[in-house]
Amino acid sequence: MQRHRPLILFLVLLFSFPCYTLAGNDPSLSGLVPITLPGGAIIHAELADTPQKRATGLMYREHLDADRGMLFMFTQAQAWVFWMKNTKISLDLIWMNEKKQIIHIEQNVPICTRTDDSCPQYRPNEEALYVLELAAGRAESLKLQRGSKLQFRIP
């Protein structure tokens, strides 16, 4: 048995590697941040971590799947202001502090069809380091609320 141990270990690794590789290489999830919610659901979010990505956000998108979102990451905590200019889908906006704890939620934020810069603005009453945008109604269906803590790691 002792002399077969290296062979068995090699075979286990050989046959495990393709399964591990295939599970981790879903091209539709490439570059997305998995966010685990308190109930165990996972949202796969695009990361908006540069000024350009944050400025563009979900503008001009026609659809957002229920298990997708956009995570805005800032370099410092502030009461970050969001608006819906050029956004074609209603959203839930979820602000989180540095502990990834929800401090404010705006649900079912409607699109803004105004062509000038007079769209309504949405802001929390506290400073946030992250903002998660989800399809409208998802915060309620996922039972997210103030104080809920989300889990994610920024690559």
The tokens describing 83, both together, are 């608006």
The residue type found at 69 is G
Lowest mean pLDDT among 5-9, 96-100, 129-133: 5-9
151 or 154, higher pLDDT: 151
From the list 129, 127, 149, the residue with the least C-alpha distance to 72 is: 129
From the list 124, 137, 132, 122, the residue with the least C-alpha distance to 152 is: 132
Q: Is the pLDDT of residue 14 over 80?
A: no
Q: Give dist(CA 67, CA 133) in Å, integer.
A: 11
| Structural domains of the chain in order of their starting residue, each with its CATH number | 27-141 (2.60.120.1140)
pLDDT-derived band at 95, boundaries 50, 70, 90: very high
Q: Which parts of the chain are beta strand (E)?
A: 33-36, 42-48, 68-78, 82-83, 91-96, 102-109, 121-122, 128-135
Summarised one tens digit per residue, pLDDT across range 31-76 is 899 999 999 999 999 999 999 999 999 999 999 999 999 999 999 9
